[in-house]
């Protein structure tokens, strides 16, 4: 799609957004509809045509996932039954413009569709930050609307943006984390977090709140500031292709379990590091598309339940994602 010039200046790291004070909070019983959410993205980026409004830049890949015995114990979902599960993967960059550079201070992403031998599918989209930029769908929408370009200047109104920040400090937490963290050196050398909490039902019948992350087998490696300044605009895809040509790129899927009192509904708050963890599976990336496009393009990586083994928590942003991703997909595939 032709991206309006103003969109070049707008990076939509999934959620690195600000929120309008009190625009929705308390004033509405109903959360914004899926259409209203997508229209708020369009108010900033222009009509959605062909590209995702968030993480517009990406590269398709493929591989497989195998649960550990601990994963089989902790979730009765088919994905965790220990058989090898095929995956369609998309690595992304948190920009609104598919031609944006790989060196922006935004999140990178790892999106996965699991396809079990028995025909079940499970989708997820993960980011290279442990927290999201909006505590609620209302804040996400209000933040987007506040960043609408002023028709007179083509730029967001700085006073409106400043007012968001002042009144909604939680919406600045992800941006602060990103500002304090060097960029990943490779799509293969950063952890990715699912951010939202889910309920996992184990073989013992217990249901536990957990968040997942994907930890790189190669370890975490980041660019220095100097390296960031000199990297080519599209270095991530080339680097990944070279890496996978040598050997599969692997990640451990790790669950972190909530303790009583941990907030399971607010994705801007990370749980303390001392919460119990379990390695529940290993993802291997074995192929990378040689160029743009591929099997990941028509997928929206909707956050799905895999009942009864993995089901939604009461996090309202999780609930909002499903419908919004579907509406966005339908607009970009028109
Ligand atoms: C209120 C909450 C959220 C809303 C309304 C929202 C909305 C969207 C939309 C509309 C898309 C484009 C979908 C498409 O066209 O295929 C998208 C993509 C994406 N979002 Fe979100 N999002 C939310 C929360 C999150 C969170 C918490 C994360 C962190 C894990 C996240 C990570 C991503 C990623 C990685 C993509 C790109 C997926 C891909 O590779 O196709 N989003 N989001």
Ligand 1 pocket list (CB less than 6 A): 14-15, 37-38, 41, 52-55, 58, 90, 92, 109, 111, 125-127, 132, 137, 140, 194-196, 267, 300-301, 317, 320-321, 324-325, 328-329, 332
User: Is 234 in contact with 210 (CB distance < 8 Å)?
Assistant: no
Catalytic residue among 3, 7, 55, 74: 55
d(CA 249, CA 243): 7
Answer yes or no: is 325 a known binding residue.
yes
Of 28, 187, 8, residue with least CA distance to 110:
187
The residue range of the domain holding 41 is 5-332
Span from the CA of 249 to the centroid of ligand 1 (angstroms): 24
* Nearest atom in ligand 1 to 58's CA: 40
pLDDT score at 332: 94
| pLDDT for 218 beyond 70 | yes
Among protein residues, the one whose CA lies closest to atom 13 of ligand 1: 325
| pLDDT for 4 beyond 90 | no
**Per-residue model confidence as pLDDT tens digits over 222-262:** 999 999 999 999 999 999 999 999 999 999 999 999 999 99
Residue 215, judged by CB atoms within 10 A of its CB (0-12, 13-18, 19+), counts as: middle
Span 314-333, mean pLDDT?
95
**Per-residue model confidence as pLDDT tens digits over 107-148:** 999 999 999 999 999 999 999 999 999 999 999 999 999 999
Report the Cα–Cα distance between both ends of the chain, in Å, rounded: 11
CATH number of the domain within which 119 lies: 2.40.180.10
Strand 121-127 relative to strand 108-115: parallel, antiparallel, unpaired?
Answer: antiparallel
Among 24, 91, 125, 138, name the best residue to mutate to test ligand 1's pocket (greatest count of ligand atoms within 8 A of Cβ): 125
d(CA 122, CA 87): 9
**Per-residue model confidence as pLDDT tens digits over 164-180:** 889 989 999 999 999 99
Number of domains in the chain: 1
**Per-residue model confidence as pLDDT tens digits over 160-217:** 999 988 998 999 999 999 999 999 999 999 999 999 999 999 999 999 999 999 999 9
User: Is 198 in contact with 210 (CB distance < 8 Å)?
Assistant: yes
* Nearest atom in ligand 1 to 132's CA: 27
C-alpha distances (whole Å) from 208 to each of 26, 86, 203, 311, 321 are: 30, 26, 12, 10, 22
């Amino acid at each position: 799609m032709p991206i309006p010039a103003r969109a070049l200046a707008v990076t939509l790291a999934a959620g690195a957004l600000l929120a309008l004070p009190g625009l929705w909070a308390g004033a509405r019983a109903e959360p914004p509809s899926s259409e209203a959410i997508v229209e708020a993205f369009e108010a900033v980026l222009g009509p959605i045509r062909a590209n995702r409004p968030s993480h517009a830049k990406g590269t398709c890949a493929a591989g497989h996932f195998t649960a550990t015995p601990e994963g089989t114990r902790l979730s009765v979902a088919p994905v965790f039954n220990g058989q090898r599960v095929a995956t369609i993967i998309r690595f992304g960059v948190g920009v609104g413009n598919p031609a944006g550079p790989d060196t922006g201070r935004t999140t990178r992403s790892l999106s996965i569709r699991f396809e079990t031998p028995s025909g079940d599918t499970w989708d997820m989209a993960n980011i290279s930050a442990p927290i999201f930029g909006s505590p609620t769908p209302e804040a996400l929408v209000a933040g987007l609307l506040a960043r609408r370009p002023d028709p007179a200047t083509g730029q967001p109104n700085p006073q409106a943006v400043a007012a968001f920040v002042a009144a909604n400090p939680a919406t600045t937490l992800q941006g602060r984390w990103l500002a304090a963290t060097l960029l990943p050196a490779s799509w293969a050398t950063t952890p990715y977090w699912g951010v939202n909490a889910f309920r996992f039902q184990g073989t013992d019948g217990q249901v536990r709140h957990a968040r997942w992350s994907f930890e790189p087998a190669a370890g975490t490696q980041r660019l220095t500031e100097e390296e960031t300044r000199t990297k080519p605009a599209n270095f991530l895809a080339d680097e990944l292709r070279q890496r996978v040509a040598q050997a599969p790129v692997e990640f451990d899927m790790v669950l972190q379990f909530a303790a009583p009192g941990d907030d399971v509904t607010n994705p801007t708050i990370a749980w303390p590091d001392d919460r119990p963890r379990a390695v529940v599976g290993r993802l291997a990336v074995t192929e990378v598309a040689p160029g743009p496009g591929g099997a990941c393009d028509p997928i929206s990586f909707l956050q799905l339940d895999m009942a009864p083994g993995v089901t939604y928590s009461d996090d309202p942003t999780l609930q909002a994602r499903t419908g919004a991703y579907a509406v966005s997909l339908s607009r970009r595939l028109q």
